[in-house]
């Protein structure tokens, strides 16, 4: 297993366990961002190819080319991740107006009927 792949999986697992174990809402949001960064890095690592040329018709010659589909998927994932993070941060701001803390247990205590 290459060292880069190990670092990528460690990043994903750190983010995943951060979401599960952290009790502060901001730390959970940060852990979610770390995990999505690891997933994007893993996808880039898997989709890496040796091709350097753009996928343009070369008149029948067989050449290695860079596949543009993974690049488009990654750009879409980055934009969607950014928008989800912005939405969650707005939700955290609204929660912090009602509750002076962002600890999950305190928020559950104050919002339980």
Q: Where are the alpha helices (DSSP H) in 1-113?
A: 3-21, 25-47, 68-98, 104-111
pLDDT tens digits, residue range 3-25?
988 999 999 999 999 999 999 99
User: Which letter, b or e, does each residue of 101-110 get, where b requires 16 or more Cβ atoms within 10 Å of its Cβ?
Assistant: ebeeeebeee
Band (pLDDT 50/70/90 cuts) for residue 98 is confident
Give the global pTM. 0.78
26 or 111: whose pLDDT is higher? 26
Nearest residue to 39 via CA among 67, 3, 81: 81
The CATH-assigned architecture of domain 3-51+63-108 is: Orthogonal Bundle (1.10)
Question: What pLDDT digit, counting tens, does each position of 33-45 carry?
Answer: 999 999 999 988 8
Helix (H) or strand (E) holding 112: none
């Amino acid at each position: 297993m290459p060292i880069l792949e190990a670092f990528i999986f460690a990043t994903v697992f750190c983010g995943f366990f951060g979401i599960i174990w952290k009790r502060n809402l901001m730390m959970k949001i940060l852990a979610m961002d770390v995990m999505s960064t690891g997933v994007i890095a893993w996808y880039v690592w898997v989709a890496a190819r040796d091709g350097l040329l753009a996928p343009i018709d070369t008149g029948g010659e067989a050449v290695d080319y860079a596949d543009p589909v993974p690049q488009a998927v990654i750009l879409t994932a980055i934009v969607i991740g950014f928008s989800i993070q912005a939405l969650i941060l707005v939700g955290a701001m609204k929660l912090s107006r009602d509750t002076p803390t962002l600890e999950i247990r305190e928020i559950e205590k104050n919002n339980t009927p």
